[in-house]
Amino acid sequence: MSNRYLAIQGTCWYHAGMDTNAFGSQLRRGVIQYCVLALLERRPHYGFELIQELSRPGGVLISEGTIYPLLSRLRREGLVETEWRESSSGPPRKYYRLSTLGGETLEHFHQQWRMFQNAVNDIVEDNQLEDRNAGRASSPTHS
């Protein structure tokens, strides 16, 4: 069996065999911070709101044990800013919003993601076309 690699600038994922759970988990870890930045680009959120948004059906499934350390790191790196807001249903909440640097970082990610996505799509679509053509060549033709 040949080794398979997926790469985006600064990241390389190795995938051998069919352990799709590990691969999906690794892929999520690679993009989760950009998903958070994209949500914050729309509007400020507090931590639990982000968990709910990211954990919708078909989402990236994230827990409190992941989101809060991530938000702290994004704040330290200057990608998000915080402010405390009063809540009508309990104690004040810390809201996160995208900083100027976070917006620039997200835009760079969008550019890289599109190139990566296009490259993967080109490969996958070429493989699917080859598979379909190989299937036609091996099946009997009807006249």
Q: pLDDT (tens digit, 9 = 90+) per residue, 93-137?
A: 999 999 999 999 999 999 999 999 999 999 888 877 776 777 666
Q: What is the pLDDT of residue 2?
A: 46
102: Cβ contacts below 8 Å, ≥ 6 apart: 37, 40, 41, 74, 78, 79, 80
Judge whether 23 lies within some domain. yes
Q: Is residue 143 part of a domain?
A: no
Range(s) of the domain holding residue 62: 4-138
Residue 98, in any domain of the structure: yes
Predicted confidence at residue 1, as pLDDT, reads 42
pLDDT at position 87: 93
60 part of a folded domain = yes
What does pTM read for this prediction?
A: 0.73
d(C-alpha 113, C-alpha 119), whole Å: 10
What pLDDT does residue 113 have?
94
Return the CATH number at 43.
1.10.10.10
Output the pLDDT for position 23: 72
46-101 pLDDT, tens digit each: 999 999 999 887 777 788 899 999 999 999 999 999 999 999 999 999 999 999 99
Q: How many domains does the chain have?
A: 1
pLDDT over 70 (residue 30): yes
